[in-house]
Amino acid sequence: MKVIFIKDVARVGQRGQAKEIADGYALNFLIPQGLAEQATAVKLAAWQERQRLESQQTAVRDAQWAQALTHLKGAKIVVHAKGNEKGHLYTQLPATAIIDALKKEYKIELSKDAIMLKNPIKDFGECTAEIRLGSKNTTITVVVIQEGK
């Protein structure tokens, strides 16, 4: 029996996938548990249309991300933070501070998962941060300045 998975099922299928499954397993477990639905002609046509729309949206999103990364390549972001006179921050600089600075200066919205730091930022000065969107990435320079100066 051909089914369309509504949820991920370990070692069987992933959400959104259409797959041929043993009748008993589909009728006795997958469909009653709400994990899959029987793939009728109408549901398969709707599933194919969803797949087409998702691939278009993915292509548009990837193009936007590529454009954003080329715009940010080699950018220098200034972030203000509190610290002591010895040049150390009171707490490490969070990725959200970098995201807020990017949003303010470049009008680009990023999730905190997009910022990759090799080492935590705990001192004033310059350091590099990697921005990873999808399979592409770029490096920016983060300048940490003491707040009030």
Say whether pLDDT at 19 is over 90: yes
Q: What is the pTM of this model?
A: 0.70
Q: What is the pLDDT of residues 101-114, one digit of tens each?
A: 999 999 988 998 99
What are the φ/ψ torsions at residue 58 (nearest 5 degrees)? -65, -40
Say whether pLDDT at 25 is over 90: yes
In whole angstroms, what is the distance from residue 64 CA to residue 57 CA? 11
* β-bridge mates for residue 102, sequence order: none
In whole angstroms, what is the distance from residue 15 CA to residue 37 CA? 11
- pLDDT of res. 87: 85
* Residue (of 146, 141, 2) closest to 77 by Cα position: 141
| Domains, the chain, with CATH or none | 2-60 (3.40.5.10), 69-146 (3.10.430.100)
- pLDDT of res. 134: 87
**Distance between alpha carbon 110 and the CA centroid of its chain, in Å?**
9
The mean pLDDT of 85-94, rounded to a whole number, is 90
